[in-house]
Amino acid sequence: MDTQRLQFRGNSSEYFRVWIVNLLLSIVTLGIYSAWGKVRRKKYFYLNTTLDGHNFDFHANPVKILKGRLIVVPLLALYLGSNYFLPARAQYVLLVLIALSLPWVIVRSQIFNLRNTSYRNLRFDFAGRSKEAYKVLGSYGLLAAITVGLAYPLLDCKRREFIIGNTAFGKARFRFSGAPGEFFTIYLKALGIYILTFGAASIMAGALAVVAVFSRQGSQPDPQAAVILPFVISGIVILVGYVPAFAYLQSRLTNYTLSNAAIGNNRLSCELRASELTWIYMSNLLSIVISLGFLIPWATVRAARYQIECTRLAIPESLDGFIGDSVHAQAATAEEFADMFDFDVGF
């Protein structure tokens, strides 16, 4: 049994050049260039991600992404502005229409992004269709809404099962064998961690506020401190209260999902650690704030490298043989890629 680990070869200085050019050109063009920027960004990360010495690639046409944004952005602006010119009932109707479109959005985004992703010159594919998405995601989404979010772990499990089970590399389909019960366990533990850490963060923030108030007794209040203190308290609550629970949830869900995903006889696995992910998230957030955003490329590359290099593929025989079989099977259906969706709806 051969185990291959995904590797990331990118670095922050290279990505900074990609990031700053994307940012400046997007500002100058009033956001139009952001479609080209998305392709450059994804292409950079894909080309620098390798498995068994071969890199991935991204082939999307930026014009198709731009077409999608020309549709999505006005709709988003309509929803955000509805508070000012639409009655409350009409806003609810608009929100329901947006919710009803989500299964279609998920399917079209998966088709676009996977069919534009390749490894060793062989494209990925997505076989899911909107009808199936509405049947699976719509029913479990309705259940989650009726239970006020209590059934959300079941929806999350079925969503991942739908996406992974309909993903293919060439003509080889992925499989997902995860169980809903494990999702409920992970979410409940994450909620417990959040309650404990949020309580601790609130006590810390409260103590800081009390110290600040008593330290100013008998003197005039400092206007600058009055402005800064709420931001400091909010930052403590976010860092100490939210980030550890989020890191735990992300690490456990990713580990469980990938460890229960397979393609052919090849099995995926992932070994993210909640403690390491918490440190990465916290230090990245602090670095970005202190640098006024200029360390975003460094933080992005750092997080991507950790998550990518914790992922492995267990290969029982030969990856070359598996790729060869997939290429042979794909040749008969290459014309299916001509039916690619016209635009991407993601950002």
Q: Is residue 223 scored above 60 in pLDDT?
A: no
Q: When comparing pLDDT for 170 and 221, which is higher? A: 170
Predicted confidence at residue 214, as pLDDT, reads 63
Q: Is residue 74 scored above 60 in pLDDT?
A: yes
233-237 mean pLDDT:
70
Q: Is residue 243 scored above 60 in pLDDT?
A: yes
Report percent pLDDT > 70 for the chain: 82
Predicted confidence at residue 328, as pLDDT, reads 47
pLDDT tens track for 282-328:
999 999 999 999 999 999 999 999 999 999 999 886 676 666 555 54
Q: In what order do the strands lie in the sheet with 54-58?
A: 2-5, 311-315, 266-270, 261-263, 172-176, 167-169, 122-126, 117-119, 54-58, 49-51, 7-8
Residue 111 CB coordination number (10 Å): 21
Report d(CA 79, CA 98) in Å as an integer.
9
DSSP designation for 261 = E
Report d(CA 134, CA 127) in Å as an integer.
14
Report d(CA 51, CA 73) in Å as an integer.
36
Report d(CA 1, CA 54) in Å as an integer.
19
Taking phi over 0 as left and psi of -120 to 50 as alpha, with beta for the rest, 170 belongs to: left
pLDDT tens track for 33-59:
999 999 999 999 999 999 989 999 999
Q: Is residue 109 scored above 50 in pLDDT?
A: yes
Q: Is residue 259 scored above 50 in pLDDT?
A: yes
pLDDT tens track for 197-210:
888 777 776 776 66
Label residue 226 by pLDDT band (50, 70, 90). low
152-165 mean pLDDT:
95
Q: Is residue 65 scored above 70 in pLDDT?
A: yes
Element (H, E) at 4: strand 2-5
Q: Is residue 126 scored above 90 in pLDDT?
A: yes
pLDDT tens track for 8-26:
999 999 999 999 999 999 9
Label residue 172 by pLDDT band (50, 70, 90). confident
Q: What is the pTM of this model?
A: 0.84
Report d(CA 167, CA 176) in Å as an integer.
10
